[in-house]
Amino acid sequence: MDGDGLDASDLDAFVAEHLDRYAETQGVLPEVLESVGETYRSQGYLTRDQLYEIAYESSTRSAYHVETNPEARCREVTRNAREVDGDFSSIHLITGLSGFKAPTASCVLAAFDGDRHAVVDTRVWASLERLGYLDGRKEGFDAADYVTMIEPIREIADETGHRAVDVGYALFAHDDHVREGTLH
């Protein structure tokens, strides 16, 4: 798919416009992810408390599940997610932790490396579908769906010079702006 023929300047304008709108949404706070990401990159893993902070930012209702993970497992999984090759493997490892379905797990990857990863959810999928990159709507995601979404996000990032994480935020804000009715 090619985004229904949008050229790089149209895509750049789209991303810039909706990235500006992101602050008006109830999406994940970029400052929180950046802060946790700095810690993740410097210490090489995330603790249960740090993972809880990400999970709470992503989904306040289900964040409490993170507290059931043993501390050592949190450190092991997040250390390994940095080292493993492949997007599927990285996100799949993180979804092995309680409280981390693919959308919340994408927050961990985006915090670690916003140049290559983005926060994804149903809003991001819907915007990619509207732009012609994906077919059909989705309400639930797994590791394979993350890979499906991150490919066009990276393509848009490459074409516009924006970071993948910012493209994801813009896609989220676009759906928030244009969607009529309820999310699900």
In Å, how far from its chain's centre is CA 162?
15
Whole-number pLDDT of residue 5:
57
pLDDT in tens, 76-112: 999 999 999 999 999 999 999 999 999 999 999 999 9
Instruction: Give just the sign of the alpha carbon dihedral 133, 28, 88, 159.
Output: positive
pLDDT in tens, 149-163: 999 999 999 999 999
pLDDT in tens, 120-171: 999 999 999 999 999 988 878 899 999 999 999 999 999 999 999 999 999 9
Across the range 22-46, mean pLDDT stands at 92
pLDDT at 184 over 80: no
Between the alpha carbon of residue 106 and those of residues 13, 47, 81, 179, 181, the distances in Å are 25, 17, 11, 22, 26
In Å, how far from its chain's centre is CA 99?
15
* pTM given for the model: 0.91
- Of the chain, the percentage scoring pLDDT greater than 70 comes to 93
